[in-house]
Structure 1
Amino acid sequence: MGDQVSVWMDAPPAEVWDLVSDVTRIGEFSPETFEARWTRGSAGPEVGAYFKGHVKRNGVGPTYWSLCKVTQCEVEEVFEFAVGTDDLNVNNWGYRLEPKDGGTLVTEYFRLGSNLPTRVYWLVLGPLRRRTNRNGMRTTLERMKAVVEA
């Protein structure tokens, strides 16, 4: 249970990597996560690093902080993180970078955790969240594209 969106960017993977792996810049791009900061002694992207994202779901309503942990970090290839707690993985989000046609094909994706509460939530609100997530991923990638191609 998940989804993905891809956007080609006229920039080398190294430049795109700098955007997708710097969580402190997510507020410039995401329509829902308006800020993030490294936590628990983490200072940058590496497997096992922690950060918190400050979220406003659908851009409205109350805000909340989500704990995230980097689960994959291969420079200029993939940056992925789990959202939840150390004991409960709600979902994973990530970016895959692929050199293509002199630029980079960037794919943002999410994958739900396998726990029962997440699956019930997805069963009830899945169609709406899938559309919201797809729109959000496209917005995020298009905003990154505008910055990296400027």
Structure 2
Amino acid sequence: MEWTGARYADKPTAEAATWIDGAPEAVWPFVADVQRMPEMSSELQRVEWCGGATGPKLGGSFVGYSKHDALGEWSTTSFIVECEEPRVFAWAVADPETPTATWRFTLEPENGGTKLTQWMQMGPARSGLSFAIDRMPDKEQKIVFVRMREFENAMIATVAAIKDRVEAAR
């Protein structure tokens, strides 16, 4: 929990991991198909590939449509910044050079299965959360803490859902 007491400019990170009874090659399709992600998220509502793409490739992009009770509804374009099947899949939100957030899945062979880790970093570019901080700058650390806790809980649920789907497909 590197984000306890963090400010937005600190680019706090969060992660969640699980072990899956399946090879990285069996896990990869569940990680790299971003259109499946809304099934595993209460915030992400739908995802569309851009430019006629039907799957991940380095430099590709997709639009995610999200909804949050406190933050409203919004969409963001994400750019794939790492794509090494079946090991790493990562995307930068809004701008690949200066993202509002970066998300990554890492798949590592471990004990006859796969250690799946989901990681994210907030910032460095301003995001929707920045507007809440602008309105209540004295509460920045609490705002960042609450949002990072939401991300962490969502990632715990996501890696658990991927584990369930991979293992059920065996």
Normalised by the size of structure 1, how large is the TM-score?
0.88
RMSD: 2.1
Shift >6 Å, 4+ stretches: none
2:156 counterpart letter in structure 1: R
Does 1:10 find its partner at 2:28? Answer: no
Gaps of 5+ in 2: 1-11, 134-139
Normalised by the size of structure 2, how large is the TM-score?
0.78
Whole-Å separation in 1 of the counterparts to 2:158 and 2:44: 10
Q: Which has the higher strand share?
A: 1
* Aligned pair partner of 2:159 in 130, 138, 141: 141
Question: Which residue is 2:107 aligned to?
Answer: 97
1:98 counterpart letter in structure 2: E
Give CA-to-partner distance per residue, 1:33-75, whole Å, 9 cap, x none: 12111013333111110101111126x7632211111000000
| Secondary structure, counterpart of 1:89 in structure 2 | coil
- Shift of the alpha carbon at 1:28? 1.5
Does 1:73 find its partner at 2:83? Answer: yes
Aligned residues: 148
Does 1:106 find its partner at 2:121? Answer: no
| Structure 1 range deviating more: 31-40 or 91-100 | 31-40
Whole-Å separation in 1 of the counterparts to 2:142 and 2:95: 22
Whole-Å separation in 1 of the counterparts to 2:17 and 2:60: 25
| Structure 1 range deviating more: 135-144 or 24-33 | 24-33
Asked if the contact 2:108/2:115 (under 8 Å) is kept, the reply is: yes
Whole-Å separation in 1 of the counterparts to 2:53 and 2:46: 16
Does 1:130 find its partner at 2:148? Answer: yes
- Shift of the alpha carbon at 1:113? 2.5
- Shift of the alpha carbon at 1:97? 0.4
| Structure 1 range deviating more: 63-72 or 84-93 | 84-93
Identity of aligned residues (%): 30
Gaps of 5+ in 1: none
Whole-Å separation in 1 of the counterparts to 2:124 and 2:61: 21
Whole-Å separation in 1 of the counterparts to 2:45 and 2:111: 32
Whole-Å separation in 2 of the counterparts to 1:71 and 1:123: 29
Whole-Å separation in 2 of the counterparts to 1:43 and 1:34: 18
